[in-house]
Amino acid sequence: MKTLACRCEDVTVHELEAAMARGYEDIESVKRYTGFGTGWCQGKWCLALCARLIQERGGAVDEPITPRPPYHPLPLAALAGLGDAIDPER
């Protein structure tokens, strides 16, 4: 049975455990190895679950993960809400 820990990036509990077995024992290293928390939700749904699983298996979760920008680049104007004002054809 496949138990998902991160739905956005399709990371399973087994993959988290495999990462820890390879020596990635802190939350940032496990995140970088598996990719959990880097999908559309940016960790809003999976971070607490993954942190709990890592801690239960003896890993360190005392430091926060490093946030990353959205996966798909956006024009700065879109982030500022100026997309229509700059490009009237939109």
Residue 75's pLDDT is what?
77
Domain ranges of the chain: 4-63+70-86
Determine whether 71 is exposed, middle or buried from the number of CB atoms within 10 Å of its CB (0-12, 13-18, 19+): exposed
Report the DSSP beta bridge partners of residue 11. Answer: 6
Domain 4-63+70-86 class, CATH top level: mainly alpha
CB 25 within 8 A of CB 63: no
Residue 70's pLDDT is what?
57
The two three-digit tokens of residue 68, written as one number: 């990353």
The two three-digit tokens of residue 54, written as one number: 């890592």
Residue 51's pLDDT is what?
92
Residue 49's pLDDT is what?
92
Residue 81's pLDDT is what?
77
pLDDT of the chain along its 90 residues, tens only? 899 999 999 999 999 999 999 999 999 999 999 999 888 888 889 999 999 999 999 989 888 777 666 556 677 777 787 655 555 565
